[in-house]
């Protein structure tokens, strides 16, 4: 299916919603490059379990999702029913309609059963490295676009803000709210409802991860229309790949891997060539992670799963100890 998840289609979403199985892999991707040269042990199962935990919490709050259950011993079970670590999740499938270049007219014509072509981003804080800082510095956006007087590094927002980027283009580009509404074919009411759902998801994730001592700085969410044109949350949710979490001021998400590669010559090539035709070939193969960073990152994913879900699925040290080790390494 993609650089970090595989999809087994059980029933295609042609005349209605389909069914499938996500297999969360130990692969990872940074900077839109695609599959990187290493695998992070335990990452796939950790993301699967965290996402299932949050999908069930959302359903309890009355927010619809595409989640059906986890696959454990070839049976579909709810999170509390599983006895073993699993990287497989059964889900409802929707159609993925493709824009023709930047022509999104198909989303105005179709009425139901499709992925909304947006990544919806919530922001609770403006951490170092946030794309919003770069966009403000370049004049692409202004603080006033988000109802703010200023946007600066490490600024904690009084109220979360919602931001948008494309989902189905080769390289994601950021969108104004008006552009996001237009390309996805949403009515004014649907667009307001979508933002409301995203803020509720943000609030739930923020509340739950705080119990593990984590700060939810920002994150991304994907949504779709079901067969009745009701909005549903899809893909994965609340994981350290979808969200930027910090623990005692230290980034404990995929941002660690981004930070590692930002110190390499390969990343300098990414900055130069990304967006040009054939850029992935131009930048060449990424270097491997050092064994110490790879092992510590593996422990991080597993420790995050244990502490966010409140269940000890993995035999790894506590998050505090893993973070101490990573601070010394990076």
C-alpha pair distances (Å), 227 with each of 17, 40, 90, 107, 114: 7, 37, 18, 15, 8
User: Into how many domains does the chain fold?
Assistant: 1
- Would you place residue 155 in the very low, low, confident or very high pLDDT band (cuts 50, 70, 90)? very high
Cα of first residue to Cα of last residue in the chain, in angstroms, is 32
Q: What is the CATH number of the domain that holds 105?
A: 3.30.470.20
Structure-token match 């967006």, residue found: 275
Q: pLDDT for 21-50, tens place per residue?
A: 999 999 999 988 989 999 999 999 999 999
Q: pLDDT for 101-135, tens place per residue?
A: 899 999 999 999 999 999 999 999 998 878 899 99
User: 100 or 66: whose pLDDT is higher?
Assistant: 66
- Cα(220)–Cα(233) distance, integer angstroms: 11
Residue 1 has pLDDT above 70, yes or no: no
At residue 169, φ and ψ (nearest 5 deg) are -100, 160
- Cα(221)–Cα(60) distance, integer angstroms: 18
User: Which domain does 136 fall in, by range?
Assistant: 5-329
Sign of CA dihedral 220, 225, 231, 233: negative
Q: Over pLDDT 70: what percentage of the chain?
A: 99
C-alpha pair distances (Å), 74 with each of 71, 90, 283: 6, 11, 42
Determine how many CB atoms are found less than 10 A away from the CB of residue 44.
25
On the CB side of 69, CA atoms within 13 Å amount to: 11
Task: Report the Cα 112 to chain-centroid distance in Å.
Answer: 23
Average pLDDT value over all residues in the chain: 94
| Contact present, 30 and 69 (Cβ < 8 Å) | no
User: 87 or 83: whose pLDDT is higher?
Assistant: 87
- Cα(308)–Cα(239) distance, integer angstroms: 9
Determine how many CB atoms are found less than 10 A away from the CB of residue 43.
26
Least Cα distance to 48 among 252, 294, 305 occurs for 305
Residue 53 has pLDDT above 70, yes or no: yes
């Amino acid at each position: 299916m993609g650089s970090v998840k595989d999809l087994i289609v059980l029933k295609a979403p042609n005349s209605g919603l389909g069914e499938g199985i996500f297999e969360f892999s130990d692969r990872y991707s940074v900077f839109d490059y695609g599959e990187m040269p290493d695998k992070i042990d335990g990452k796939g199962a950790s993301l699967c379990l965290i996402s299932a935990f949050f999908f069930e919490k959302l359903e309890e709050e009355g927010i619809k999702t595409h989640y059906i259950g986890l696959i454990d011993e070839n049976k579909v079970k709810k999170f509390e029913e599983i006895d073993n670590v699993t990287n497989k999740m059964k889900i409802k499938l929707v159609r993925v309609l493709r824009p023709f270049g930047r022509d999104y007219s198909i989303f105005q014509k179709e009425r139901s059963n499709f992925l909304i072509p947006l990544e919806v981003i919530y922001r609770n804080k403006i951490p170092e490295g946030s794309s919003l800082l770069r966009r403000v510095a370049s004049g692409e956006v202004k603080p006033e676009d988000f109802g703010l007087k200023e946007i600066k590094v490490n600024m904690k927002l009084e109220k979360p803000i919602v931001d948008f980027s494309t989902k189905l283009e080769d390289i994601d580009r950021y969108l104004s709210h008006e552009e996001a509404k237009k390309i996805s074919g949403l009515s004014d009411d649907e667009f307001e409802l979508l933002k409301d759902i995203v803020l509720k998801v943000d609030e739930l994730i923020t509340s739950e991860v705080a119990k593990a001592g984590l700060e939810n700085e920002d994150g991304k969410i994907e949504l779709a229309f079901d067969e009745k044109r009701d909005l549903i949350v899809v893909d994965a949710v609340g994981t350290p790949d979808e969200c930027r979490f910090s623990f005692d001021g230290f980034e404990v998400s995929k941002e660690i891997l981004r930070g590692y590669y930002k110190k390499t010559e390969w990343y300098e090539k990414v900055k130069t060539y990304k967006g040009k035709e054939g850029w992935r070939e131009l930048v060449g193969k990424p270097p491997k992670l050092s064994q110490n960073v790879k092992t510590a990152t593996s422990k991080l994913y597993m420790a995050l799963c244990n502490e966010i879900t409140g269940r000890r699925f993995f035999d790894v040290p506590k998050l505090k100890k893993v973070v101490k080790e990573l601070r010394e390494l990076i």
